[in-house]
Structure 1
Amino acid sequence: MSNRSNTPPGQEWNASHYAENANFVPKLGGEVLKLLAPQAGQRILDLGCGDGALTERIAQTGANVLGIDASEEMVEAARQRGLNARVIDGHQLPFDHEFDAVFSNAALHWMLDPQKVLAGVKRALKPGGRFVAEFGGHGNVAAICTALIASLQFRGISSHGRHPWYFPTTQEYAHLLQTVGFHVDSIELFPRPTLLPTGMAGWLRTFANPFLHNLDQDLQEAIIDNTMNLLSHSLNDGQGNWTADYVRLRVSAHV
């Protein structure tokens, strides 16, 4: 992923590593997909489509779906599935009243100017169009963030500017939606502890690159090891199974 404005520095996406270390992301997208309830013939935008795993499920309903992502590699992986996908930054949506719905799963917390994103989403929707999304909410990966920051500070490295995510409360996000002209139909914040298929090391190497940005390889590995030591008592069951302390925000709104 190129480093664009409003995009966390240092985060890169590798489609095969993502499929290996984060296959739970599309698997756990079933509930928000039900909330979207796509219909044949509807035009739907999948914002932050990643490798297209959920976009493909939307397309299978007969909907006309376009997947967009800021990562060229992820968009290429989506195209390999036969999907219509384009490289577009979520802060710079170029659409004008052309979609029946905008859908997003596990992507909006990477977009650090949410008002700009939501204004673009609203503009992309036809009158009466819907916005359905799930992403990290207030308290998401709090233990992991605390351990990463402590591991950086232990080595005298400032964590300033390294935290790459936007995790709002329901009140904050509902207010933002209303500010840009949405009517909120439902919004909830809920804990969803998530078993990690390749452990905490795989998760950190997939998602926590901005915390390690511009540090040499040995230092990165030391910080990962220290982070895992700090987390082992709270997020490891003692049998080698790691869980991420996810908290998700799920929302449905319309214009």
Structure 2
Amino acid sequence: MEWDAELYDGQHGYVGAYGEELVQLVREEAAARGEGAEPLRILDVGCGTGAHLDALGEIGAVTGADSSAAMLEKARRAHPDARLVEADACALPFEGAFDVAFSNAVFHWVPDQVALLKSVAGALADGGLLVAEMGAHGNIARIEEGYAQALRKHSGDYAGRFCFPKEPAYRRLLGIAGFEVERMEAAGRPTPLAGGRAGLRRFAEQFFAKSLALYRDAERAAVLDDFEQACEPDLWDAEAACWVADYRRLRFTARKVRSVRGAGGMDQLSVLGS
């Protein structure tokens, strides 16, 4: 999809803010290596506009990779000295080059999880650590349900494009890709959206942009009106005057313990049950 970098930072800055706890796990990896160890070589997979580049740069030598030219352009303006690479997460142009692969709120956007994990594993040195957080099973379930209801009223169908896995299935997929999971947890994180009444609409304009683009302006506005109406009973907080997204997150660290070719005879559908 085409990302609106300004809208993303202005409306969804909470994504980067919640990533601080994830950065702390990278700090712990650096501390575990002890004083005198070489600085960590860190790859920020899906770095976006660079929300974590400064914090990661305090820990080691960081490289940011993202497939969106618009996101990288904003990252370059904010971080002119950063090493940034335009690259697909499923085809990272690195081999054994990093000690840590970091990723926040990116993996669930990637349709081919097998290719993604193989690519990330290939970029890591032997013994390298993957530190990541993504949407868990049930993430934005009410939002997706409300959006699907709105589309049906306008002769449309909603085909969810996200990968929000269950914990056991994703643990298994990581193992197939050559990782050994060190920690993994799924938890709810109800998240207030910025923008007051407009917050849910702006969420849709960013994250459902592809399907909304199929409608002319007037009907698109009607779809968004119906979307808000469907979600209001469960997601509008009248006291706080904001929408609250029904987020669930899956956070994990996984160590690269072997290099693999192929996917061990398993495909994504059989593992994740998609």
The residue aligned with 1:144 is: 143
Q: % of aligned pairs identical?
A: 34
User: Residue type of the partner of 2:55?
Assistant: R
The whole-number CA distance in structure 1 between the counterparts of 2:132 and 2:217 is 36
The whole-number CA distance in structure 2 between the counterparts of 1:140 and 1:149 is 15
Gap regions ≥5 residues in structure 1: 1-10
SS of 1:175 mapped into structure 2 = helix
User: Residue type of the partner of 1:173?
Assistant: Y
The residue aligned with 1:228 is: 228
**1:97 deviation in Å?**
0.6
The residue aligned with 2:48 is: 50
User: Residue type of the partner of 2:54?
Assistant: E
Contact 1:148 1:211 in 2 (8 A): no
Indicate the RMSD between aligned Cα atoms, in angstroms. Answer: 1.3
SS of 1:53 mapped into structure 2 = coil
**Structure 1 stretch 215-224 or stretch 133-142: which is displaced more?**
215-224
Q: Normalised by the size of structure 1, how large is the TM-score?
A: 0.91
The whole-number CA distance in structure 2 between the counterparts of 1:209 and 1:36 is 33
Contact 1:163 1:211 in 2 (8 A): no
**1:146 deviation in Å?**
0.4
The residue aligned with 2:7 is: 17
SS of 1:36 mapped into structure 2 = helix
**1:34 deviation in Å?**
1.1
Contact 1:182 1:253 in 2 (8 A): yes
SS of 1:139 mapped into structure 2 = coil
Residue 200 (1) aligns with residue 200 (2) = yes
User: Residue type of the partner of 1:13?
Assistant: W
**Structure 1 stretch 44-53 or stretch 86-95: which is displaced more?**
86-95
Contact 2:205 2:212 in 1 (8 A): no
Gap regions ≥5 residues in structure 2: 31-37, 257-274
User: Residue type of the partner of 2:25?
Assistant: L
Cα-to-partner distance string for 1:1-39 (whole Å, 9 max, x where unaligned): xxxxxxxxxx32121111110010101111111122264
Runs of 4+ more than 4 Å apart: none
The residue aligned with 2:249 is: 248
Contact 1:163 1:210 in 2 (8 A): no
Cα-to-partner distance string for 1:51-103 (whole Å, 9 max, x where unaligned): 00112211133x11111111001011111122211110111112111100100
The residue aligned with 1:126 is: 125
The whole-number CA distance in structure 2 between the counterparts of 1:220 and 1:174 is 39
- Count of equivalent residues: 242
Cα-to-partner distance string for 1:163-212 (whole Å, 9 max, x where unaligned): 22111111111010001111000111100001111221221112221332
The whole-number CA distance in structure 1 between the counterparts of 2:210 and 2:161 is 6
Contact 2:108 2:164 in 1 (8 A): yes
Matches within 5 A, 1:29-108: 29-37=19-27, 39=30, 41-61=39-59, 63-80=60-77, 81-82=79-80, 83-108=82-107
SS of 2:121 mapped into structure 1 = helix
The whole-number CA distance in structure 2 between the counterparts of 1:124 and 1:190 is 28
User: Residue type of the partner of 2:51?
Assistant: A
The whole-number CA distance in structure 2 between the counterparts of 1:97 and 1:12 is 30
User: Residue type of the partner of 2:23?
Assistant: L
The residue aligned with 2:262 is: none
Question: In terms of Rg, which structure is larger?
Answer: 2
